[in-house]
Structure formats: structure tokens, C-alpha cells
Amino acid sequence: MLTDYHVHLRPDEPGTTAERHFTAANAERYRAVAEERGIAELGVSEHIHRFYDALDVWDHPFWRQNAADDLESYVAFVREETDLRLGIEADFVPGREDKMANLLDGHPWDYVIGSVHFLREHAVDMPGAFDVWGRGDSAEKVWRRYFETLAAAARSGLYDVMAHPDLVKVWGRARPAPAVDPARFYEPAVEAFLEADVAVEVSTAGLRKPVGEIYPARAFLEMVADAGCPVALSSDAHVPEHVGHEYEAALELLGEVGISEICVFEHRVRRLEHVG
Ligand SMILES: [Zn+2]
Ligand SMILES: [Zn+2]
């Protein structure tokens, strides 16, 4: 079994409207690439900040800029016009857990993907006005805050899968890296995943980013494997061609760390299937 659950039906750039991208024909383009690459389980997980309903959870300027769509219409589109699994990528906003739970409740998700892009007002993966880097905080501090937030996100119980679990490394050498062994950041995160019984995403998206490496790093994934946390395999595609992107590398890494099963989700119930 191969899966691709963390998939966006449109790029993040402005002008990528729901009208143009939430169509049966566009979903079919993703399905065609998945079939070509042997991916049986395909789902979508649009960014929650693109729905105006999410402004109730967090009124951040970036979210305000992007909130243009109706969540209910997205859910109805995926359910009624596609054969894709229904997911959502929902940021963790500390202190707003109840609001997020309210927003997520009452929709027939197959899975909810939790992600940490922001540390308070600033993002780890966004250049420009909202960049967390270059504000005087050390790399150690940024990494520590990132992994603390990730652990809190897992423990919130809001999510089925934790996305791109070491996203903080996205810039590679273009941003400072901590001088210490990153294991000290991974350990408490893995403890939180285990306690929360949440799945950990193995994402090939990092191979397309400056860091040029799968999320999570091998040492992190080894800890995940040793702890026995379930993993979910995804590409974080934002265009059809990226569905199943470089899965050969992901399968090799999974094999090397001794992971032979991946998660399959239906109506927020998880089961494990043999990978490959
Ligand atoms: Zn993300
Ligand atoms: Zn994503």
C-alpha cells in the first residue's frame, strides 16, 4: 500500500482560487498521477487559513490575506465530486484549541493533519514580513520553541497526523542551525507523539526545499521507529506532478529505519498497512 494524504489541490500563490482548483477535472489530474505511481490511497488536505471560517480561530494578518473560501463548500466538493479522502491541514494555534476544535467538529474528515508553521506571530518557513529568522533569536531558541510547539500540538488531541515534523530545518544552510545535537529537540517531541497516540508524517516535501532532505531527519525518524509511533506517508504536493514525489527515497529511508507499515485513515479511524 502507498498513500498520499497531505496534498493541496492548488499552489499557495495568490490567484489560485477555489473556483479554478476545486473541480472534478483538477482532482482527476491528481488521481491520474497517483495511479501512475501506484498510490491507492489519495487524499486532500487544504490549508485551513484559506477558509474565512478560520479567522474565528486566529486573526493573523497572513490568515486574513488568504481567507477567501467557505469550509463547508470545500467539504461538499471533496465528498460529492471526487473519490479522494477528505482531510485538512490545520495549524496549531496555542491558546485557541477550543476554537479550532469547534471549527473542525461536525465535518466528516477522514483525517486532520496538524502543522506548526508559526511560532507566535512569525513563521519558520516564510520569507519576508512574517519570517521568524533575523529577529535576534538564536537558532537554539527558534528550534526549541518550534519543537515545544509541535509537542503541544500533538498533545492537544486535535490531530491524527503531525505534518513535516522538523519543518524548522526547511531553509537548510540559508538560516542558522543550532550548534547542539538536535536529538535534544527530537526526544520530547517523540514522547509527546507517543503519549498522544498521533501518527508522524514522513514527507518528501523537504526534498523540494532548500534543505533538500525528507521530513523528518533520519535521526528523528529512528527515534519515532524505536518508540513505535505510527507513520503516515505523504508528498505535500501543491501540483499534480508532485503527488508521490520521490517516494523511492522515502521507501528506502523507511526500510533503513525498520518501518514496514504506514497509516491508512477513514473517518478518523487509523489502521496500519504494509508499505510498498
Ligand atoms: Zn504545512
Ligand atoms: Zn501542506
Give the pLDDT confidence of 244-271 residue by residue, as tens digits.
Answer: 999 999 999 999 999 999 999 999 999 9
Looking at residue 78, its pLDDT comes to 98
Neighbour order of strands in the sheet with 3-4: 3-4, 41-47, 85-91, 111-115, 161-162, 199-203, 231-234
Percent of the chain with pLDDT over 90: 99
Looking at residue 116, its pLDDT comes to 98
CA–centroid distance, residue 61 to ligand 1 (Å): 18
Ligand (nearest to CA of 116): 1
CA–centroid distance, residue 115 to ligand 1 (Å): 6
Ligand (nearest to CA of 46): 2
Q: What are phi and psi of 143, to 5 degrees?
A: -65, -45
CA–centroid distance, residue 48 to ligand 1 (Å): 10
Looking at residue 14, its pLDDT comes to 83
Using the predicted structure, report yes or no on whether residue 86 has a pLDDT greater than 90. Answer: yes
CA–centroid distance, residue 164 to ligand 1 (Å): 7
Give the pLDDT confidence of 156-203 residue by residue, as tens digits.
Answer: 999 999 999 999 999 999 999 999 999 999 999 999 999 999 999 999
Question: In the beta sheet, which residues pair with residue 113?
Answer: 89, 161
Ligand (nearest to CA of 236): 2
Average pLDDT, the chain: 97
CA–centroid distance, residue 87 to ligand 1 (Å): 13
CA–centroid distance, residue 91 to ligand 1 (Å): 8
Looking at residue 212, its pLDDT comes to 98
Give the pLDDT confidence of 52-85 residue by residue, as tens digits.
Answer: 999 999 999 999 999 999 999 999 999 999 999 9
CA–centroid distance, residue 163 to ligand 1 (Å): 6
Q: Quick one: 22 exposed, middle or buried, by C-beta within 10 A (0-12, 13-18, 19+)?
A: buried
pTM given for the model: 0.97
CA–centroid distance, residue 23 to ligand 1 (Å): 22
